[in-house]
Structure 1
Amino acid sequence: MAAGAAGGRRVAVIGAGMAGLAAARALAQAGADVTIFEARDRIGGRIWTDRSWPGLPVDMGASWIHGLTGNPLTALAREAGAALHPTDYESAAAFGAGRERPYPAEPWGMLEKAQAQAWKADADLSLRAAVAALPRWGRMTAAERDAFRAAVHRMVEHEYGADWGELSARSYDEAEGFGGGDALFPQGYDQLAHHAARGLDIRLGARLTAVRAARDGLRLTFADGSEAGADAMVCTLPLGVLQSGDIAFDPPLSPARQSAIESLGMGLLNKCWLRFDAPPPVPRADWILNLGPPADLWPEWVNPSAAAPAPLLLAFNAGPRADEAEAWDDATTLGSAHDALKAMFGSRFPAPIAAQVSRWRADPAARGSYSFHPPGTGADTRRALAGLDWDGRLAFAGEAASPDHPSTVHGAWLSGLAAAQALAG
């Protein structure tokens, strides 16, 4: 970025997640006067490392670097001195009805056929509708359909945070990836956020409620009634917040950008960390599948104990099941997760001594976990959300604005760099 293009400009960055931190760093390096305004009392956004268990950090939001080779977060982790713990999807076991079961068949063959047929149709349709239209689906028994549906829930709905009836058959998986496997952060993902934030002016507890274009730039209004001025702004608010209408834009955003905000979906993936007083009797596999019954509640488990100083298990719920479970209190959630473990491994499975539970839909600064593609949307929708508005004074970034790497931390980071470049250009 050319220093002259940004030098001396006052730029407000809304949100201290990874998109905001990336944009602020790049603009500050180019000579802009940058202030980050963050609604929460912490930085990181949907990276949230809970440190309430002494010496045992657990990531309640993002957990993995997805694809270590060529990923900008890998280099950032190296700069931050953050240790990584690789995980392998091939290191997996499946359990159900109290015993180990054969690893279930994966659904990709039928899903690829459904996707191909959807591209031949006159209009996009949901992934569920595209599968139901296949001749093979009509020939399947009820048991075969149940097994297929469970596989879709584990491998698709948990990936995208939404029911397959809400996902685009054409573009639900439209994204690029990095190679080299995935890795967790034993000491917390927030190490990257704190490293990226060094030297930046960040104001916490500053919840934006309105932004107005004025002759001399922009006027920002916050929930406490305070105001701030800027020459330009980078908006990295999560899609769910943009959809909520909590922020008033005056004048309105461009029709294409507003349409993109309304068209994309905000999915939900919630976590439950369980802590034990002794290593639980589970296999050493990284991933443990719960084949039920039921097969759609706590279907995926991660065993991170090899990289943690205390015995832990991590369980997930996604989509409608996550919305349902989010209404439970912590005790009910812990009890439900323990019931799932007893159903998988036997009634004598030891009880956890503590739990940490995420509720991303209820978080007013997120209103969900990450974005997905409903029917009729795709990478072009995200391109319409990204970029500049208001004659180049307002830029948008975040995982929802990443056409190539949506729903990922590295996508958020790269979108922040792109927004900074656009503002300076």
Structure 2
Amino acid sequence: MRIAVIGAGLAGLAAADELHRAGADVEVFEASERVGGRVWSVPFGELGTVERGAEFVFPGYDEQRRLIDRFSLELRRKGMPYGVREPRGGEPTSSEEMKAAVERLETDLTDMGVTDDCTVSEALRIAGVPSAVAEALKARVEISCGHIADDLSVSELTSAGFDDSDSHTIVGGNMRLAECLAASLERPVNLNVPVTRVSQTGTGVVVGTASGEISADAAVVAVPARLIDDITFEPALPAAKQTKSLLYAHGVKLFVRLVEPVPPSATLSVPGRYWCYTELDRDGAPRHMLSALANTDSGLAGLDIDNGPELWLDALEQLRPDLRLDRSAVMLCTWHDQPWIRAVQVARSVARPVDDEAVARPVGRLSFAGEHTAGEGWHGSMEGAIRSGQRAASEALAAARGQCASTAPR
């Protein structure tokens, strides 16, 4: 039984791992020069490894933690609660007031007549949340989701996480998990081999690249959503699988060395629509580094990222005057210009909702994985990518064994 996996991000590798462990002959294709996709760990001078992309391992990431344990990887405590950020720059408010407002929403949504198709902005207005708190909450959820609060479901706010639970990252970089998954496969991943076409036949699939093609009993399509339309599918995929109509977030990260380290902290720029944080190093001491993330169109436009990090560095010095930035040691990380990724995540819209079931549903002998297929609650996360890959592997095995309802698109 031979199964092709297209894409070697966490979703594709999780699928390949499940398939390999089930006894399938797995062939993985990756368009770029590395595995990991949007999990990309890179060196930053003497400060060690930083995460260009997915960074935080949260409580409840059970599948990711199971894999971390399996490969004997270690987690590093960041010391900075992801859900607690001090709001600055807008009307005076506090993280405590933000948390209290969200807790009230979680308790009283039904009594207020608020449903999931209500936007964050509408829910805050209906609940009578004070303007200072409401604006800080909008900034918080917009940064996390990469979209405007006027078009985000209130469920994105109530699931955003405002508690003080700690967060972690993998020692040596989150990409180590992707590398371990790839190394555990019988066949090496085919790097720098973009898949250009996928054809379904009556008995299997044919996967084509610039250098040739292979036949398989089934395939898992695990490329970022923005790249699906670059592949020619025969027969064509149903409309729900075509991703041109989806909205995308274009997150940008900035890392800068600190002249003097400070204890872990997290600060939210309400008007700037970005946040920044300091953390602990591997030994539990304050790290000589400030990290920042912007993930909305308005935030990125205000920081003039296309012309470099200078305006953002200026803004950070105003937001955190207690920090001494070493402006000679800076790394700016973008995703829109990465040819095999092009976006951080799919943004969820009330006006243009994602049909989660249709996006994830198999089409004949093709199954689909990736954060955009993970469904509400898991989209945009490493855990969601892994779970989607595991689900897609199960579907691919069923298809390869002739247990799928049809071998042609419906």
Fold match by TM threshold 0.5? yes
The aligned counterpart of 2:386 is 413
- Whether 2:310 is the aligned partner of 1:314: answer no
The aligned counterpart of 1:141 is none
The aligned counterpart of 1:160 is 145
- Whether 2:260 is the aligned partner of 1:279: answer yes
The aligned counterpart of 1:210 is 197
Q: Residue deviations 1:12-56, cap 9 Å, x none?
A: 101111111111111112221111101110000110001263671
Map 1:240-279 to 2 at 5 A: 240-242=226-228, 245-258=229-242, 261=243, 264-276=246-258, 278-279=259-260
The aligned counterpart of 1:37 is 29
Q: Shift in Å at residue 219 of structure 1?
A: 2.4
SS at match of 1:301: strand
Task: Tell me how far apart the structure 2 counterparts of residues 348 and 199 of structure 1 sit (CA, whole Å).
Answer: 43
Equivalent residue letter for 2:13: L
What is the aligned residue count? 387
Q: Shift in Å at residue 184 of structure 1?
A: 1.9
TM-score, normalization by structure 1: 0.78
Q: Residue deviations 1:354-400, cap 9 Å, x none?
A: 1222212222322211223211677x82222113102xx10001111
Q: Residue deviations 1:129-187, cap 9 Å, x none?
A: 4545x2737xxxxxx53552133212x112212111231345676799xx974212342
For the 8 Å contact 1:94–1:103, the answer to whether it is kept is yes
Residue 362 of structure 2, aligned match among 388, 400, 409? 388
Relative to 1, partners in 2 of residues 1:262 and 1:171: Cα closer, same or farther, differing over 3 Å? farther
Task: Tell me how far apart the structure 1 counterparts of residues 122 and 334 of structure 2 sit (CA, whole Å).
Answer: 29
For the 8 Å contact 2:17–2:181, the answer to whether it is kept is yes
For the 8 Å contact 2:196–2:230, the answer to whether it is kept is yes
Q: Shift in Å at residue 423 of structure 1?
A: 1.7
Q: Shift in Å at residue 420 of structure 1?
A: 1.0
The aligned counterpart of 1:51 is 43
- Whether 2:220 is the aligned partner of 1:228: answer no
For the 8 Å contact 2:255–2:289, the answer to whether it is kept is yes
- Whether 2:137 is the aligned partner of 1:151: answer yes
Task: Tell me how far apart the structure 2 counterparts of residues 265 and 326 of structure 1 sit (CA, whole Å).
Answer: 21
For the 8 Å contact 1:326–1:359, the answer to whether it is kept is no
TM-score, normalization by structure 2: 0.81
For the 8 Å contact 1:162–1:268, the answer to whether it is kept is no
Percent identity (aligned): 25
Residue 12 of structure 2, aligned match among 3, 20, 34? 20
For the 8 Å contact 1:80–1:191, the answer to whether it is kept is no
For the 8 Å contact 1:271–1:358, the answer to whether it is kept is yes
Map 1:192-207 to 2 at 5 A: 192-200=177-185, 201-207=188-194
Q: Aligned-residue CA RMSD in angstroms?
A: 3.5
Relative to 1, partners in 2 of residues 1:381 and 1:174: Cα closer, same or farther, differing over 3 Å? farther
Q: Shift in Å at residue 225 of structure 1?
A: 5.2
The aligned counterpart of 1:336 is 311
Task: Tell me how far apart the structure 1 counterparts of residues 108 and 165 of structure 2 sit (CA, whole Å).
Answer: 29
Task: Tell me how far apart the structure 2 counterparts of residues 197 and 240 of structure 1 sit (CA, whole Å).
Answer: 23
Equivalent residue letter for 1:185: I
